[in-house]
Structure 1
């Protein structure tokens, strides 16, 4: 589509003001804010009025953003040509739609009579909602009024009946798009708490079910609209997903400090919208179905926990709970009851607890600790209960540290959630492993606190230890358990880091982990915590192979802790030690090769695997009885696994010195060089029994392992093992180099060679 954007004097189409035109043909101005949106709506109205000649029985109706006069810079136009059965409506519609398309505008259109529009609305609740925003642009006023009035009246009569189905559709949308308040790259329109949910609140308010559009919701709505305006203007096209690379630019347009401040503001607004919609849906459900009634006709009250009763589908305080001085643990006990019963806490109850529940003493009483454990271990009920309490300030009373953690972005691309949601989600995931550990209560608390050091200077695993221990002390844990919570925070990355970056067959690896962990109880807690942490991070944080590596490490460390003896390294595949050379075995995710002893076999195998779109996860190289052995674990870089017949043939030719295969390897490897930040080499002198460890941190790229192993081979380094850890767009590759490499100059030369190969 030809660009119809007029640049302003600075040469950009996104400076946050209205000094440029989004569309020169129509004269649509840019800009951010309510005045700019109204100006855009007025420009569209003027343009559209010139497309429909004066004629009875025909009206051009705007719905959607134009109907509400809330046009973002690159919004679509949603139009209905309404007619009273007059002839020639198809030709008339074409005379309107084509000039709109010719002007470079996106259009969603329909042609209907009043009866047709109402019939569609009866069958499709989304159409019914759309008609609530209908507004006459030009044409027959009486015809437009008939549709708008009838659609509104019909919605008021039938809304309570339609809302359960609408709630199901909405839940499916939330499942697909997630929660805007906790996503690092959320959809401002479709995610839970976004602009589409405000439309639902407006519809519920129109039906008179509840006062859904409270002042706080209206203010949040305007800020979300401003954010979408700025996003459109920053990107220069219609887009609703607030991706990380655009956050700082959008923040500048909104006069915010940075992208993190923007994310926090969006999170707060989305929470406001989400809670209002939850309240509105519950009000509609009570109105639709009613609840069990007592003898006096009032909703029955059913006790669910001490001082907590269910009333009309919500949790409220028992009358006996409201005394001169309420129990300080009352808010935690209400939260625990909500999480275990999966019933919402009534808004009035949350407001009362926030206003009148006294602060917890230090240390906490046993009842408060028990309630926290129940809350954290409640499974699926934890997240909504915690979020409700957080919305009303109760969590800050339990954990003052939460103020800093709330809506804190995590800039690693593997993370899906903001930090606060990640921690609560980790506790939820940890509850799945409660039966695997001796102290499930400490597992749950460790999961909630494991990243408490993030957002502060330094390694969060180290910085977070005193913070977590302070929390553990305040809630009343004894010193030994406080120390264990600190250990979980300090060591929560130990198992995955070692499993993916170190040689698990090396006794030094197992001994170092066993020394750090100390006992099998802590080992079990860390194993459960790492799986919960990964599940709460996102799909890129875990895989079957990573799970197998961590499980293998845990098993070997457990043997060392139980027996005091380090386990023997696994023997090579016996099939590689017999038969004529070369030997190539493909089994599942394993590729094993044996060839006549020579340098460079690992590089050759790695290159051939890269040629077939296979990523090497781990590689071991050894020489046994004059045979050079390479054993790799692999996974497809993308798509389906390669044809095993072709892979086996290429491996045989490559290790046999076939020049054609070698040329293909070098050509592919050179073409696939990565970018990003400058690579770095880190040396670890005491991480192995008989080798020095060279760790390469670089951008991920196909063929990287091949290029680096070739460079190491050319420099005279002998690689006996390699471990490849992919972290989003980056990799940490660890190479075990035989010999001590004690000479500083030799290490510097080798380091330069490796970096040049990247």
Structure 2
């Protein structure tokens, strides 16, 4: 069926015909994107024009006008209809009746309608008071009635906009900034709002408004295509959900990708991010131009008066060879020759970042169009300029984005293409892979005084996740890639080895510190063997912190920092030639001994809570010590089921377990009985800590069987909201036989849930193994817990028995 056939059907059958023709159009698989939006707009135009004509009955001086998105002809399947009934004020009663004859059929079909009835004067006054109304009128399009009335309003609104631009454009910029602060940046969000987020459709519309002011214009290259791509995604989202939504939720991304004929949801997100980057960069450039024009308009008349008139030229201040600052931007010097100077892009970028200034669009495009490729290996100057750029702190981000917008980054580092705009489907990560790498370099620039080779730290920060663009373990893939990239950049063989070690082991410190027993000599020796030298260890320590801080707020804490610092101290001692001491049963402290004696005397558990506030790495954080959690000491007469009972009670009270150590305590002479001592670190999920008396009372009930922990936790788990259309990856349990000589290490990776540690503890009790210590780590929704277990005699489990325990534990978690 052609567009003409569809429109004829709509005209012949009235509202029901329009509804049928509209449905037929939306179901046509062969037509999508701009052709379908245009056809839907034309179909709606014909229908509304028919309603208008049938209701006028000789009425003059009135017209029907489409504004906003409908005015631009951008009707998505569930878009609002933005309509203005414009009249000359001659017959208000007749106009009101006409409005009813148009609005009610639209409502009867269940279509969303944003409508108004105004005279031209009222429309202009409203636009003068409400910026959003004025933006909608800039896209006014005549549908039916008095064409001259519509044309005169359009002419007047555009004239008002251009005359008021010096006042309205800063207001529009502030509106865009407020919206970005609320909605975030589209190019990094896992569930982005295609319209409201920064770099979305609203920003694209704002750029059209700036262009209409004649004060400045956006870079046009790629902008229309980016806008079209976001509109196509919104169309598919409306069809997939059947709702008027602009939020691309996780559970709908696969369906939207299929609707668009894309491979998968990651491909969809990458296309969305690329489009958003084009719009965001165009916005940055445009608003800088607006600010420059407005400043020049206010300053130039005064300068001319002071200097006696005449044309003034903006002053140019040299920044580096071939690079100058002009009017708040970094531009190329007149004598610069990009075709003869392959280092110029990096030199200009480093100069801009060091000065805290943006690279001009003209300069970047000139570099992209004429610069020669760097030789392999790079000259020393190019490598130094890259390091300078990476070490410039926060200004690095904007400069890097300018280079990337014109394709210069992938020319310098071809492997960058695989991580560019690559989403990270992990709630812990707040950035795409490429932006995370830049953020890590920004963070690492704060630690350059802590290491002997700041250049290696910064380059490792830039490349540590470069392997995420390849299948398999990204650390392993990254090690291979970095060896090639580092040699190409011009590092010598020894430096290449250090960089590849840093990338290969960039997760080693934090994973070991939070998931292994630091008192076990095997733990410390394994890290020392992997790192190789103290200088590399300190580089890795700085990279670990920078990486975690650049990941997101859930990836780092004072508690993690203190554990990593403790591990680094122990490993540094081994690398200096010291041998780690074999762990011995520590003599109980006075408090532990007191609790144990009381537990034996009462025959019931005794506990104490104590806050921990030691800062990591011997440094006080800003504002004083930050609590690392709470030390929970529990002395319990030795009996079965202690671990699951304690874990279950803590889960009931919404306490997160960070580390857990269990051991039998030797009592003083004259005191009979066996006591288990639990030395745990816990933290409240939210709110304040429960009272110790309440914890003890529930623990007593849990141990005597009168408290149904499993039932209580099941009720709480059932109340947890479930994410529609998403299934958590299956749990995985592995045995690490070489991780310790003193115990068998069993590692559990699973979806975090209330009572997870309780379920694991009960399963280990059922397997007749003793838990020596537990090390819990939670990153977003993922729990990674390591358990040091032994047999009844206190020795590591035989391999076959350890594998059997792991299989049973995994089966329990899957069930």
TM-score normalised over the length of structure 2: 0.83
Task: Choose from 193, 200, 204 the match for 1:194.
Answer: 200
Could you say which residue in structure 1 is the equivalent of 2:335?
320
Alpha-carbon distance between aligned partners in 1 of 2:42 and 2:116, rounded to the nearest angstrom: 22
Determine whether 1:576 maps to 2:592: yes
Shift in CA distance, 265/340, structure 1 to aligned 2, threshold 3 Å: same
Distance 1:22 1:389 in 2: 49
CA distance in 2, matches of 1:268, 1:23: 35
Structure-2 separation of matches of 1:654 and 1:573: 28
2:653 to 612, 619, 624: 612
Residue 531 of structure 2 contacts residue 537 of structure 2 at CA under 8 Å; is this kept in 1?
yes
1:525 equivalent to 2:539? Answer: yes
The yes-or-no answer on 1:630 pairing with 2:678 is yes
Helix, strand or coil at the partner of 1:732? strand
Residues 743, 514 of structure 1: CA spacing in aligned structure 2 closer, same or farther, 3 A cutoff? closer
Q: Secondary structure at the match of 1:458?
A: coil
How far apart are the structure 2 equivalents of 1:25 and 1:219?
28
Q: How does 1:107-126 map to 2 (within 5 A)?
A: 107-126=113-132
Secondary structure of 2:469's aligned partner: coil
Tell me if structure 2 keeps the 8 A contact 1:672–1:702.
no
Q: Deviations over 1:116-156 (max 9, x none)?
A: 43233223333321221223445554544443322111112
Equivalent positions of 1:126-137 (< 5 A) are 126-137=132-143
Quote the residue 2:633 is aligned against: 592
- Counterpart of 2:67 in structure 1 is 63
SS of equivalent to 2:468: coil
**Separation of aligned partners in 2, 1:321 and 1:120:** 51
Per the TM alignment, residue 603 of structure 1 is displaced from its structure 2 partner at its CA by 1.0
Partner of residue 210, structure 2: 204
CA contact under 8 A between 2:609 and 2:692: conserved in structure 1?
no
Does the CA-based 8 Å contact 2:644-2:758 persist in structure 1?
yes
Alpha-carbon distance in structure 1 between the residues aligned to 2:187 and 2:579: 50
Shift of the 315–607 alpha-carbon distance from structure 1 to 2, 3 Å rule, reads same
Structure 1 stretch 702-711 or stretch 529-538: which is displaced more? Answer: 529-538
CA distance in 2, matches of 1:574, 1:98: 82
Deviation at 1:70, TM superposition (A): 0.4
1:313 CA drift (Å): 3.0
Q: Which residue does the alignment assign to 1:468?
A: 482
1:66–1:564 CA distance, 2 compared to 1 (3 A) = same
Match of 2:82 in 1: 78
> Shift of residue 717 of structure 1?
0.8
Give the deviation of 1:682 after TM superposition.
0.6
1:179-258 to structure 2, matched below 5 A, reads 179-212=185-218, 214=220, 216-258=222-264
Contact 1:201 1:212 in 2 (8 A): yes
The more displaced of 41-50 and 73-82 is: 41-50
Is the CA contact (8 Å cut-off) linking 1:653 and 1:661 kept in structure 2?
Answer: no
Equivalent position of 2:40 in the other structure: 40
Which of 292, 295, 312 is the matching residue for 1:286? 292
Would the aligned equivalents of 2:131 and 2:172 in 1 still touch at CA under 8 Å?
A: yes
User: Which aligned pairs between 1:262-411 and structure 2 lie closer than 5 A?
Assistant: 262-290=268-296, 297-322=312-337, 326-411=340-425
Please state whether the residue corresponding to 2:681 is helix, strand or coil: strand
Which of 472, 479, 488 does residue 458 from structure 1 map onto?
Answer: 472
3-state secondary structure, aligned to 2:428: coil
SS of the residue 1:151 aligns to:
helix
1:668 CA displacement: 4.6
Partner SS, residue 698 of structure 1: strand
Indicate the residue corresponding to 1:511 in structure 2.
525
Maintained 8 Å contact 2:733/2:747? yes
Hey, what does 1:16 align to over in structure 2?
none
Q: 1:660 to 1:457 in 2, by over 3 A?
A: closer
Distance 1:148 1:706, change over 3 A: same
Picking from 434, 441, 452, the partner of 1:420 is 434
Tell me how far 1:683 sits from its aligned partner. Answer: 0.5
Deviation at 1:446, TM superposition (A): 0.4
Find the aligned partners of 2:525 and 2:47 in 1 and give their Cα distance. Answer: 76
SS of alignment partner, residue 578 of structure 1: helix
- Tell me, in whole angstroms, the C-alpha distance in 2 between the residues paired with 1:592 and 1:21: 75
CA RMSD of aligned residues (A): 3.2
CA distance in 1: counterparts of 2:438 and 2:272, whole angstroms: 19
Q: CA deviation at 1:212?
A: 3.2
Cα deviation, residue 422, structure 1? 1.8
The counterpart of 1:733, out of the listed 782, 785, 788, is 785
- Greater Cα shift, 628-637 or 284-293: 284-293
Distance in 1 between the 2:682 and 2:98 partners?
62
> Structure 1 residues 150, 566: closer, same or farther in 2, change over 3 A?
same
Structure 2 vs 1, CA of residues 757 and 650 (structure 1 numbering), >3 Å: closer, same or farther? farther
8 A Cα contact 1:604 1:654, kept in partner: no
Q: CA deviation at 1:102?
A: 3.9
Q: What is the CA distance between 1:203 and its match in structure 2? A: 1.1
Per the alignment, do residues 742 and 265 of structure 1 end up closer, same or farther by CA in structure 2, a change over 3 Å counting? same
| Of 290-299 and 267-276, the range deviating more from structure 2 | 290-299
Measure, in 1, the Cα distance between the counterparts of 2:772 and 2:18: 61
Distance (Å, rounded) in 2 between the aligned partners of 1:92 and 1:734:
73
Tell me how far apart the structure 2 counterparts of residues 603 and 497 of structure 1 sit (CA, whole Å): 24
1:657 aligns with 2:671: no
Shift of the alpha carbon at 1:283?
A: 2.7
Secondary structure of 1:660's aligned partner? coil
- Matched positions, count: 737
Partner secondary structure for residue 394 of structure 2: helix
CA distance in 2, matches of 1:22, 1:757: 57
Structure 1 residues 174 and 362: CA distance shift in structure 2, 3 A: same
Q: What SS does structure 2 have at the residue aligned with 1:659?
A: coil
Contact 1:605 1:654 in 2 (8 A): no
Deviation of 1:658 after TM superposition, in Å, equals 5.2
| Structure 2 match to 1:713 | 765
User: Does 2:729 match 1:677?
Assistant: yes
For 1:433 and 1:649, how far apart are their aligned partners in 2? 45
Larger Rg: 2
- Pair 1:442-2:456 in alignment: yes
Q: Structure 1 residues 574 and 156 mapped into 2: Cα distance closer, same or farther (>3 Å)?
A: farther
In the TM superposition, residue 650 of structure 1 has moved relative to its aligned partner by 3.8
Alpha carbons of structure 1 residues 663 and 312: separation in structure 2 relative to 1, 3 Å: closer
Check whether the contact 1:492–1:530 (CA below 8 A) recurs between aligned residues. yes
Q: Is 1:602 equivalent to 2:643 in the alignment? A: yes
| Alpha carbons of structure 1 residues 40 and 655: separation in structure 2 relative to 1, 3 Å | same
Structure 1 residues 632 and 365, CA, compared in 2 at 3 Å: closer, same or farther?
same
Per the alignment, do residues 78 and 619 of structure 1 end up closer, same or farther by CA in structure 2, a change over 3 Å counting? farther
Post-superposition offset of 1:269: 2.7
Aligned partners of 1:636 and 1:679: how far apart in 2?
Answer: 25
User: Do the aligned partners of residues 629 and 387 (structure 1) sit closer, same or farther apart at CA in structure 2, a change above 3 Å counting?
Assistant: same
Give the superposition deviation at 1:171.
2.6
